[in-house]
């Protein structure tokens, strides 16, 4: 529900200091506000009981906590849960909770729609509608019913995270800061198609893991799948990545959806090994999940296993990612809030 008030959830400590000063609170009150928001996870300003009642009332005139529950959810036979969150009047985003035996991961969205228009992705088919605010990104995590079970976060939902860097970096700060949720950056992965300006900032400022959507080692073939190859060639992306150290705790992985007779040949495997030469990394092979009006098909498991084995033999760690949530359109490339989606 739109109240016209500003949301405190999603504000950094510096922003909370400005809020505190505005209502006549001392500077240290910003830490109290952060504690109530990110550690105690209150839903209303009235619950912030170590702040004077008169100041709380003054605060509530202009601000609200700004957390809101998902509008709808649908659960897969494999336990995956897809949630629908409001993102402003008439706009929604999806996020996906993926539990396994040893971890519980949330796939987080960063935009309503996407500008990148990758051939194999439903999000791009709905076009770009808006960047999510830090509040709207963080609320997917904060208000998740399974919040207390979460072990990992992946920014691999709707949108291109590094095309929304201002809001994304606020969220990453709050997630990892001691005043915020205090998560280790090693529990967070940010995915990108390779937006160079945002990627450079991410590599400089963040210790979170990086995942790069690659999908073909051959530029003209990648361009047919991902028009962004024209603006941000994968060679340039990799040249930038090579300037940073991924040999210790921070990791880089490459996502590779395997399409039948398109990028699954020994020629592609050989070209991929050459392309990634010198980068300590992991390659995740992903089965293509069919989406409407796209003529692509997934490769067969035998070819995927041969591809994986070749890369491992050449010294590149390669795995085949298990598909989750396909029956509820929650698997890789299937998120959309256009009219043909699960919810709308």
Report, as residue numbers or ranges, the catalytic residues: 94, 332
Instruction: Decide if 99 contacts 120 (C-beta within 8 A).
Output: no
- As a whole number of angstroms, the distance between CA 54 and CA 51 comes to 8
* Sign of the four-CA dihedral 195, 198, 203, 209: negative
How far apart, in Å, are the Cα atoms of 137 and each of 80, 82, 168, 344? 20, 15, 8, 20
Instruction: Decide if 70 contacts 85 (C-beta within 8 A).
Output: yes
- Give residue for tokens 């209303």: 44
How many residues comprise the chain?
344
DSSP 8-state secondary structure symbol assigned to residue 234: H
The Cα diameter of the chain in Å comes to 70
Q: Encoding tokens for residue 239? A: 């040249």
Report H helices in the chain. 13-22, 29-34, 53-62, 122-125, 134-142, 165-176, 196-205, 219-225, 234-241, 266-275, 301-313
Strands 128-131, 111-113: pairing is antiparallel
- As a whole number of angstroms, the distance between CA 175 and CA 73 comes to 24
CB atoms within 10 A of CB 26: 10
User: How would you write 26-57 as a 3-class SS string?
Assistant: CCCHHHHHHHHHHHCCCCCHHHCCCCCHHHHH
């Amino acid at each position: 529900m739109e109240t016209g008030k500003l949301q405190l959830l999603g504000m950094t400590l510096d922003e909370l200091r400005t809020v505190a000063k505005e209502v006549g609170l001392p500077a240290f009150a910003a830490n109290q506000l952060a504690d109530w928001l990110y550690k105690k996870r209150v839903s209303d300003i009235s619950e912030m009981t170590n702040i004077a009642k008169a100041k709380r009332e003054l605060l509530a005139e202009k601000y609200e906590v700004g957390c809101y529950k998902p509008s709808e959810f649908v659960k897969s036979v494999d336990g995956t849960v897809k949630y629908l969150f409001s993102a402003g009047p008439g706009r929604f985003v999806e996020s996906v909770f993926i539990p396994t035996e040893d971890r519980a991961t949330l796939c987080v969205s960063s935009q309503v729609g996407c500008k990148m228009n990758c051939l194999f992705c439903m999000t791009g088919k709905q076009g770009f509608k808006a960047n999510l605010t830090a509040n709207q990104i963080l609320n997917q995590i904060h208000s998740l019913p399974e919040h207390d079970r979460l072990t990992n976060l992946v920014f691999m939902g709707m949108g291109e995270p590094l095309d929304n860097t201002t809001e994304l970096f606020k969220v990453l700060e709050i997630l990892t800061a001691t005043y915020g949720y205090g998560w280790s950056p090693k529990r967070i992965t940010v995915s990108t198609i390779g937006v160079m300006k945002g990627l450079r900032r991410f590599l400089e400022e963040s210790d979170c893991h990086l995942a790069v959507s690659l999908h073909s080692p051959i530029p003209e073939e990648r361009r047919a799948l991902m028009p962004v190859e024209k603006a941000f060639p994968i060679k340039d992306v990799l040249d930038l990545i090579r300037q940073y150290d991924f040999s210790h705790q921070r990791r880089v992985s490459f996502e590779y959806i395997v399409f039948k007779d398109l990028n699954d040949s020994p020629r592609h495997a050989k070209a991929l090994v050459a392309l990634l030469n010198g980068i300590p990394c992991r390659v995740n092979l992903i089965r293509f999940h069919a989406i409407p009006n796209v003529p692509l098909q997934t490769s067969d498991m035998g070819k995927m296993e041969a591809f994986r084995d070749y890369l491992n033999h050449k010294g590149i760690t390669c795995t085949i990612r298990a598909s989750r949530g396909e029956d509820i359109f929650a698997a890789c490339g299937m998120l959309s809030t256009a009219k043909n989606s699960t919810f709308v």
